[in-house]
């Protein structure tokens, strides 16, 4: 956080010099992204945000589409409050396609135009995460999954909490 406009100017210079192939931002909500894109010379190529069925961020996706910024999900399989692996709707869709719930959730994001970066250290899960290209979710399934959206920010990052923001900026919060 802090003076991200100055940091961005340095990234623009590095990009123009050919040092960087792409430059992007993270956790820019629609209003911040709009202000940023209308202010900087080079728009971000990517905006890495929390995106999963319980926090689908349709307004953020629309803003990114408007500014030609690629959305990238840093939590594509879900946030801290809800476990997609216990969701009956997701289980039913997964069973219908003979896929895992993780594969369905990843495919849902990909079909929405979102780049996904699921985290795993287990070889079998990494392979499973890549095996999402041999099926397509129907429009109805896409809508059902999108309807799971609760419109909340997950547990890990609390962007709208002033104490969290001050902590990220290195501001002393407590004595």
Name the percent of the chain lying above pLDDT 90. Answer: 74
Q: Which residue would you say has higher pLDDT here, 73 or 171?
A: 73
In this model, does residue 159 exceed pLDDT 90? no
Beta strands in the chain (DSSP E): 24-26, 46-49, 70-73, 115-116
Mean predicted confidence (pLDDT) in 17-21: 98
SS3 label, residue 108: helix
SS3 label, residue 55: strand
- Angstrom distance (rounded) from CA 73 to CA 66: 18
- Sorted by where each begins, the domain ranges of the chain are 4-168
- In the predicted model, what is the mean pLDDT of the chain? 89
Mean predicted confidence (pLDDT) in 14-18: 98
Domain 4-168 has CATH 1.25.50.10: no
**What's the pTM?**
0.83
pLDDT digits (tens, 9 = 90+) for 40-65: 999 999 999 999 999 999 999 999 99
Name the percent of the chain lying above pLDDT 70. Answer: 84
- Angstrom distance (rounded) from CA 78 to CA 54: 7
């Amino acid at each position: 956080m802090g003076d991200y406009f100055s940091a961005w100017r340095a990234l623009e210079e590095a990009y123009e010099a050919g040092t960087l192939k792409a430059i992007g931002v993270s956790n820019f909500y629609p209003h911040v992204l709009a202000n940023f894109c209308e202010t900087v010379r080079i728009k971000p190529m990517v905006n890495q945000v929390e995106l999963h069925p319980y926090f689908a961020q349709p307004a953020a996706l629309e803003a990114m589409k408007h500014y030609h910024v690629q959305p990238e999900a840093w939590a594509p399989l879900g946030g801290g409050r809800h476990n997609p692996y216990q969701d009956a709707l997701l289980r039913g869709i997964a069973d219908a396609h003979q896929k895992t719930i993780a594969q369905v959730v990843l495919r849902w994001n990909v079909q929405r135009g979102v780049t996904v970066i699921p985290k795993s250290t287990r070889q079998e899960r990494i392979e499973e995460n890549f095996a999402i290209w041999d099926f397509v979710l129907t429009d109805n399934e896409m809508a059902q999954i999108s309807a799971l959206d609760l419109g909340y920010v997950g547990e890990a990052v609390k962007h709208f909490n002033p104490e969290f923001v001050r902590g990220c900026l290195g501001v002393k919060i407590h004595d």
